[in-house]
A and B are shown apart, each in its own frame.
Chain A
Amino acid sequence: MTDARVHHDRYQYMRGLYDAYPPALPAHRDWEIVVGFYAALHLVQAYFCTKNMRFQAARHDQRMAAIRSSPELNKSRPFVQAYKMLQDVSEQVRYEPGFKVAGTDLQLAKANLETVERMLQAKVNRILAAHHSP
């Protein structure tokens, strides 16, 4: 459960950074999407750390395969779609200098991050609370 807690802490840190980003760097908001994706990634990792070994993922493709093979996540097409869209837009921001982020990309990224959180946050919090050692 230690790894889940570490990823959850990292998620909370990235989420705080995501919220602080627009006022801090209003003219350079493209990387806000990258921060949002990594917040989502650490929340997903925290969740997978509470499941068995076959869901442990070290790479993006393994993580997506783990999502697709988790019935509780894959049955919800909005979750898969939201995570994938966050990942793909953030990859294009990171690796493709000609890509221009539009206002709709920023709005969709926020909605996608919230979709991932809606699906996982309560589950992870519940599991971590159950394993809390005083």
Chain B
Amino acid sequence: MQAVLDASDSSEWIVANSGEGTDCGRVVAGERSRSVVLPLADHVISSELARVPQVVAAYAQDDEHGTKHVFCVVAEHEPVVYARVLDAEERIARQLPRLALHTHVRAHQGRSPSAAVPLTSSPIYVR
């Protein structure tokens, strides 16, 4: 399923694919009906979180209000992690201004990253 996240220009749309397995999509958009290949929300999010060295994995889940919850798994809760995750969140917001995103930091404390996130979330990034 594809969802439009931003439409700053009628000929250039940013789209996201909330399905699994792909990281980009092709759409026909705008009055000129030209095809554009654009990044997907999960791809943007995982690319930005990959820039935070402490984040070893990220899991995502959408809620019933349309908010995307992203769980950033780190070793322990530390102030430096939060500063970097907040920076990443700002970069994501600039790229996906209409995405309702709520990041959560989760400490794995030496366990498997999946042990620290909700069972209903899906991995979008594993280092």
A: which residues have CB within 8 A of B?
59-61, 64-65, 77, 80-81, 84-85, 88-89, 91-92, 95-96, 98-100, 102, 104-105, 108
With a CB–CB cut-off of 8 A, which chain A residues contact B107? 92, 99
In Å, the complex CA distance between A88 and B107 comes to 9
Q: Are A85 and B77 in contact (CB under 8 A)?
A: yes
The verdict on A80 contacting B109 (CB below 8 Å), with A61-B102, A99-B116, A108-B77 known, is no
In Å, the complex CA distance between A59 and B102 comes to 11
Q: CB-defined interface of B60-90 with A at 8 Å, one 1/0 digit per residue?
A: 0001010101000000110100110010000
In Å, the complex CA distance between A59 and B82 comes to 21
A96 in complex: contacting residue of B77, B83, B100, B116, CB < 8 Å: B116
User: What's the interface size class on B, roughly?
Assistant: 20 to 34
Q: Are B79 and A88 in contact (CB under 8 A)?
A: no
Closest CB in chain B relative to A105 CB, distance in Å: 6
A–B complex contacts, Cβ < 8 Å, 29 sampled: A59-B65, A60-B102, A61-B63, A61-B65, A61-B67, A61-B69, A61-B102, A64-B102, A65-B100, A81-B86, A84-B86, A85-B77, A85-B79, A89-B77, A91-B104, A92-B77, A92-B107, A95-B118, A96-B115, A96-B116, A98-B109, A98-B116, A99-B107, A100-B109, A102-B76, A104-B76, A105-B77, A108-B77, A108-B79
Q: Are A77 and B104 in contact (CB under 8 A)?
A: no
The verdict on A77 contacting B105 (CB below 8 Å), with A85-B79, A95-B118, A96-B116 known, is no
Q: Does B111 contact A (CB under 8 A)?
A: yes
B: which residues have CB within 8 A of A?
63, 65, 67, 69, 76-77, 79, 82-83, 86, 100, 102, 104-107, 109, 111, 115-116, 118
Q: Are A81 and B79 in contact (CB under 8 A)?
A: yes
In Å, the complex CA distance between A91 and B76 comes to 14
Closest B residue by C-beta to A60: B102
A99 in complex: contacting residue of B102, B109, B118, CB < 8 Å: B109
